Amino acid sequence: MQRPKNRQKPSPSPPKRDSRRVVSTRRNASFQLSGSRAADFAVALIILIAALWRWSPAANPAVQINNLGFESLQIAYSLAHGQGFANPFADLQSGPTAHLAPVFPFLLSFVIRWFGDASRAIAVIDWMGVLAAGLQLSLWPFAARRLGMGFWSGALGAGLWLTFGLVPRTVWEADYVAVLVIVLSMAMYKILTERSSTAYIASTAAIWGLTILASPVVFLPFVVLALCGIFIGNINGKQKLVLVAIPLLVLTPWTIRNYRAFHHIFLVRDNLGLELSVSNNECAEFSLIANQLTSCYVHPNEDPQEAARFRSMGEYAYNQERLRQAVHWIAENPRRFGSLTLERAVAFWFPNGSGNPFTSQVDWNVKVLWAITLFSFPGLVLLWWRNRIAALICLIWLIFFPPVYYLIQFDVRYRTPIMWASLIPAAYLFVRVGKELFASRAGRTQPAASVER
């Protein structure tokens, strides 16, 4: 007998997709995405409002901007009154200057033009400084997410700085520079990890130029990050040229202005000699506040005789003479210079009042900030294991931004532009450890819960 042939059963037809369900699912996904974005911006807004509340400036009495003694305000006052970028010191008509970088004094000059040169303008400048501080903190969560550390690491870091950080110095540019540095760090991460358009790289390069004109200390990190873009970035030859050339083009008009005013070529500012001299001499201390209490603090802004000498010699010649004095003293006193440099380096990372954190009397919030700074090192190691490009960007800022501040008198505002690069990795460590502890605890309670069920 023949065995009956096996009849193949017809394969079942795939189920029909309900178009209404697909559309509904897509709508729900888009709603969740937009809701997530809305929640992120809500968190950033809360951080900004908290900063405005935490650091809201007190009302100022009737004062004149040109009598406060801040070089940034003095130059802004000269700009607002048609005297040009000039006269950085109080009660001294010394002419054109390159004592400060141009961006911040120009910004302040618009405030003085619109609000006058008395207490109302000071109030606006104070609120602008607090707003800049809040804006840079509100960017921390987005920077943390872009660099692979997660949104909440940035939010936690911002919360830590809001709780334990120092009051912003509103008459200086540090918080404004911090905003630009964070934007540049996110942009460079994209350039180093993704294919970017030439227009994107050109806009990033223009921001580099603007940032250097706000703070020339940024130039060295720019060089290192530009080299990273050239050698490890996903960019072509034309884009490499754009990344390097545009910042130099942005700097060119100011360089030409300085050459016409002083007949010498230099990068943005010419006051390094003065700063080295007041920071390194026979009775110099590690910080600005301590130096102002000594008899060796010879500065045109505080000594009328030195101001007259500054005016008679001219700014460039005066700064060159002070540079020679500083170099001579450093060569004659290498041990004392080394100890001053070490004290300033320690104070940069661990702010204190004596150059030695172990012997300084500081507020409790500063001690907490020291501890958070220490946790940033294992946080950076953890980040290096998980995302080396992000860790590299943070390390470049932490290594190549501070060196000039180790050579001159310490002030607490100097670390502000790169505070995010240490506090966010510390917060990242806290978040990762918290997640691991929560997961391990949940793992221990899971079997008991299953038995109960």
pLDDT, tens digit (0-9, with 9 covering 90-100), for 152-165: 999 999 999 999 98
Whether 278 and 422 map to the same domain: the answer is yes
Based on the domain organization, do 283 and 415 belong to the same domain? yes
Report the largest interatomic distance among the alpha carbons of the chain, rounded to a whole angstrom: 127
Q: Are residues 238 and 289 in the same domain?
A: no
In this structure, the answer to whether residues 278 and 427 fall within a common structural domain is yes
Query: Is residue 282 included in any domain, yes or no?
Result: yes
In the predicted model, is pLDDT for residue 13 greater than 70? no
Residue 384: inside a domain: yes
Say what the pLDDT of residue 358 is: 76
User: In this predicted structure, what is the pLDDT of residue 395?
Assistant: 98
- Mark whether 329 and 288 lie in a shared domain: yes
Count of domains observed in the chain: 2
More confident residue, 191 or 28: 191
**Structure confidence at residue 260 (pLDDT):** 96
Least confident of 86-100, 243-257, 353-367, 392-406: 353-367
Q: Is the pLDDT of residue 104 over 70?
A: yes
With a cut of 70, say whether residue 351 has pLDDT above it. Answer: yes
Where does a domain end: 251, 269, 287? 269
Averaged confidence pLDDT in the chain: 88
Does residue 227 share a domain with residue 369?
A: no
Last residue of one domain, picked from the residues 247, 269, 291: 269
Residue-wise pLDDT for 224-242, tens only, equals: 999 999 999 889 999 999 9
Please report whether residue 133 resides in a domain.
no
295 and 393 share a domain? yes
Looking at the fold, whether 315 and 227 belong to one and the same domain comes out as no
Contact 117, 65 (CB under 8 A): yes
In a domain, 349, yes or no: yes
Q: Which tokens sit at 208?
A: 């580099």
Q: How confident is the model at residue 449 (pLDDT cuts 50, 70, 90)?
A: very low
Is residue 141 within a helix (H) or strand (E), and if so which, with residue range? helix 119-146
CB 78 within 8 Å of CB 90: no
Does 94 fall in a domain?
A: no
pLDDT confidence of residue 444: 65
In this structure, the answer to whether residues 395 and 260 fall within a common structural domain is no
The answer to whether residue 33 sits within a structural domain is no
Domain span at 261:
172-269
pLDDT at 19: 40
Report yes or no: 328 and 321 within 8 Å, Cβ to Cβ. Answer: no
Q: Are 276 and 421 in a shared domain?
A: yes
Question: Of residues 296 and 168, which shows the higher confidence score?
Answer: 168
276 and 379, same domain (yes or no): yes
Q: Give the range among 428-432, 435-439, 442-446 with minimum mean pLDDT.
A: 442-446
The answer to whether position 251 is within a domain reads yes
| Confidence class for position 440, pLDDT limits 50, 70, 90 | confident
Q: How far is CA 159 from the centre of its chain?
A: 17
Q: Is the pLDDT reported for residue 349 higher than 80?
A: yes
Backbone angles phi, psi at 124, to 5 degrees: -65, -45
User: Residue 278 in contact with residue 284, Cβ under 8 Å?
Assistant: yes
Query: Do 287 and 391 reside in the same domain of the chain?
Result: yes
The mean pLDDT value for 255-277 works out to: 95
Paired tokens of 330: 């450093």
- Please say whether the beta carbons of 68 and 58 come within 8 A: no
88 in a structural domain = no
